[in-house]
Amino acid sequence: MEINPTVSVVMSVYNGERFLKEAIESILRQAYQDFEFIIIDDGSTDSTFDLIRYYRDIDSRITSCIKTHSGLIDSLNLAAKLARGRWLSIMDCDDVAVPEKLMVQLDFLSQNPDIALLGSSMLNTDENLNPVFLQSYPQNHDDIIKMMRYQNCFSHPAMVINKEAFLKAGGYRTAFLHAEDFDLSLRLLRKHKAANITDPLIKRRIHKGSISLHNLRQQVVSAIAARIASQLDPDPFEKVIFDAPVSKVFVTGHGVDESALAREIVRNFIFLAQLLIRCNSYADATVLFNSENFTGLEMELLPEELGNMKGALLKSGLYTQSLDEIVSAVYLNFSSRAQHST
């Protein structure tokens, strides 16, 4: 009789050939070996599936599936349904797991059986895996609950989730596109306990391909909507399947004004631009901060929000003078265009 593995590592890939080799090998080299590795090729058009097939042929723990492109949410939900392990370990196709990741997390879970969601700190790196800054999160359940009211405190590729709890919660929801992990975490926290490991068990690559202007806006709207939904009883998304992502109409219709939404978007732009600068991607940060990417209200808030965030950026060691230069340039460009249009 076949014995099921303890943990199922699940990964979705779409045109991820550039960093996929390192991501896969970081799982195969885990100190903890009782796992299966489910990799979903989400309709890639590059050599992604050739790489997956190569590793599948040399390691029987890998199960692969290729399907029509439908996005990360659908792919991870499919992987979870295929999984045979008690635990789901999420993995991104451009990140690297440290060799002790599964061992440390599963040892913690065996000693803390009441935990259904476990994350860890995360080391943000440039595309060559050179360290940029360490992102830490609260470790105990009560502190996690407090922080989740304001921001996500789980790194998605660091998460290990009880599969039964995942399936009962309904998995990832399409409505919360680009914040599907935050929404899932909030729902799990309603009925289960969570924790974070202090040590960074995942290395997250920051590069141009991992940051999208369109994704950023939807991510902010989806994250705010997830917080709202978690406070409503019943959850308006619980029994209705949404084919399209939630819009800002839902957010503003539940008391979030346009100014607050714009501030949140601007803060995210500033933070991601600074990450790109620290990763020696100044040109990419400049592209991100094209004045045409901002609404008038967002541009008005930009200098103020930079001032508000500068202290925290300095404290974290992220701040560089280049950020001021980019913000000043984009603001001047916007002001010039505004004058010419009047």
pLDDT recorded at residue 143: 98
pLDDT recorded at residue 319: 84
Which amino acid, 215?
N
105-112, long-range: CB < 8 A, 24+ apart:
105/160, 105/197, 105/201, 106/6, 106/7, 106/32, 106/160, 108/195, 108/197, 109/160, 112/195
pLDDT in tens, 197-238: 999 999 999 887 776 656 888 999 999 999 999 999 999 998
From the list 177, 171, 164, 181, the residue with the least C-alpha distance to 238 is 171
pLDDT recorded at residue 248: 93
DSSP 158: G
Count how many residues are written for the chain: 342
Which amino acid, 54?
Y
User: For every one of its 342 residues, what pLDDT tens digit does the chain have, with 9 covering 90 and above?
Assistant: 578 999 999 999 999 999 999 999 999 999 999 999 999 999 999 999 999 999 999 999 999 999 999 999 999 999 999 999 999 999 999 999 999 999 999 999 999 999 999 999 999 999 999 999 999 999 999 999 999 999 999 999 999 999 999 999 999 999 999 999 999 999 999 999 999 999 999 999 988 777 665 688 899 999 999 999 999 999 999 877 788 899 999 999 999 999 999 999 999 989 888 888 888 888 888 877 777 778 889 989 988 998 999 888 888 888 888 888 888 888 787 777 666 665
pLDDT recorded at residue 79: 98
The CA R_g of the chain, rounded to the nearest whole Å, is: 20
pLDDT recorded at residue 289: 77
pLDDT in tens, 171-197: 999 999 999 999 999 999 999 999 999
pLDDT recorded at residue 232: 94
**How far is residue 60 from each of residues 55, 77, 309, 328, 330, measured CA to CA in Å?**
9, 22, 48, 54, 52
pTM, 2 dp? 0.94
DSSP 66: E
pLDDT recorded at residue 341: 63
